[in-house]
Amino acid sequence: MSAIEQSTRRHEPGRPTGVAARRSARVRIAALWMLLVLLATAAAYIFWGRDRLPVDEVLQVLGGASVPGTSFILMEDRLPRLVVGALAGAGLGISGALFQRWLGNPLASPDVIGVGFGASAAAIAAMIVFGVNDWKLSAFALAGGLAVAAVIYWLSASGQRTGSRLILAGLAIGAMLQALIQFLLTQTEVNTASDAMRWLTGSLSASTWERAAVLGIGLGAAGIFLLPVVLRQLKLLELGEDAAAALGLHVGRARVLLVFTAVALGAIPIAVTGPLAFVAFLAGPITAALSRSAIHVPLAGLTGATLVVVANFFAANLFAQINLPVGVITGAFGAPFLIWVLVRANSTGNGG
């Protein structure tokens, strides 16, 4: 057995100790509760949304029948929203958790360190300058996120484990990109700027089965082919880069693959739904609180999906005559949580 395999087996959660077994049990319980909340909220949105749908008609449509009115509302509006929202939330949750685990800092999420702004700025430029509005938007968003990740990676001492410097660099880059976005919005027609502003808020209103397919294919490819490798390498990186290198890991390649995967899982949803504020930031710390241990990456994906589905329900039903963008609700949830994390980090001296 190689040294890497021995180290991985020694640090495999739930394998040797009662502490790890209890942690795994808490993760499973948290995942079960999160899944129940997700399913209950999805059912509530389907049956008791702004326009209530009869249970028998919904069941008929799900069984393949065509029911005037109900078929359109369910198949062309509510179900695509739920699928797109759940997929986008899962991608953002995993993206944030990867950054937070790698840098050991709960503030190191894509929407805080500037990667989300990079994806947004590239997507807005594609929409306004090139008139792109299809699947190509995902490619622009991914390119923008990767470009910003490369810049802040370089500014923070070439990717060393210096979370505070990376966060500061990301905040500076994010501020510049916000200015660029505002400039682009002032240079375009009113209708185009209005569409771009709605997209920047983060919304599921334009969800379709085609967009769900784009999300599913993009996130599925990254999740199936890249994420398992990244998670194995992340366990070694968390031992310390010197120890990881001594165990045979090519640290530079591992960091690049981790950053690419995390950016891809965050940028693809942003291209489809717009930046859903704080989902990537919230999901990881919530899993840590529920499991009372380190951030759990797969559980963060489920948590992100649940956050977006719950936010979608409130966005549709909170006010009688107003259908709010989902990004407004996630922003309202996330801002107080960010303040709490900052206060807690200051009080404990764990600011990264």
Q: Which domains occur in the chain, in start order?
A: 2-347 (1.10.3470.10)
- Six-digit token string for 95: 């993206």
* Whole-prediction pTM: 0.88
Residue 173, C-beta contacts closer than 8 angstroms, at least 6 positions apart = 114, 117, 118, 148, 151, 152, 155
What pLDDT is attached to residue 351? 47
Question: What's residue 344's pLDDT?
Answer: 67
CA 63 to chain centre: 32
Q: Give the Cβ contact number of residue 114 at 10 Å.
A: 27
Report the helix count and the strand count for the chain, using DSSP H and E. 17, 0
- Do residues 272 and 90 make contact, with C-beta atoms less than 8 angstroms apart? no
pLDDT value, residue 21: 86
pLDDT in tens, 52-68: 888 899 999 989 889 99
Please report the pLDDT score of residue 198 as a whole number. 81
Burial class (CB in 10 A: 0-12, 13-18, 19+), 258: buried
Which residues in the chain land under pLDDT 70?
1-17, 156-163, 320, 342, 344-352
Q: Is 47 within 8 Å of 58 (Cβ atoms)?
A: yes
